[in-house]
Homo-oligomer: A and B are copies of this chain.
């Protein structure tokens, strides 16, 4: 399941996309508008910044903005930044690969094969740019 951290991060990214007029948006503002605990959000924003998904302006009137064009940002990027692998098992993850200690033959592992199929269905959906998410409200 998606962590709250990732969910809050996604909401933050979408908020920044939806409100270019409020940019740079302060953590306080985002926190209030999206009902995300303030200090927790600060933490998440730092992480998003490390992963170059947002950029920041310091000092009074400062805040956060998307670090790149929204058409270059996907939910998958946010999820990977917050929660790590999208794949349900590490032995098929592209960016977070890890072999199963007990596995004798990855090539023939049925479990791996099944979850590889799942992954290859999930990833393209999550990698769509956030601009393709129908805007609502």
Q: Give A contacts to B, CB under 8 Å.
A: 1-2, 7, 10-11, 14, 34-35, 75, 84-85, 87-90, 102, 105, 108-111, 113-115, 117-118, 121-122, 125-126, 133-137
Q: Could you list 29 A-B pairs, sorted by A, with CB under 8 Å?
A: A1-B84, A1-B85, A1-B87, A1-B88, A1-B89, A1-B90, A2-B89, A2-B115, A11-B111, A14-B110, A14-B111, A75-B111, A105-B136, A105-B137, A108-B136, A108-B137, A109-B136, A110-B134, A110-B136, A113-B133, A113-B134, A114-B125, A114-B133, A117-B125, A118-B122, A118-B125, A118-B126, A121-B125, A122-B122
Among A84, A88, A90, A108, the one with the most B-chain Cβ atoms within 10 Å of its Cβ is: A88
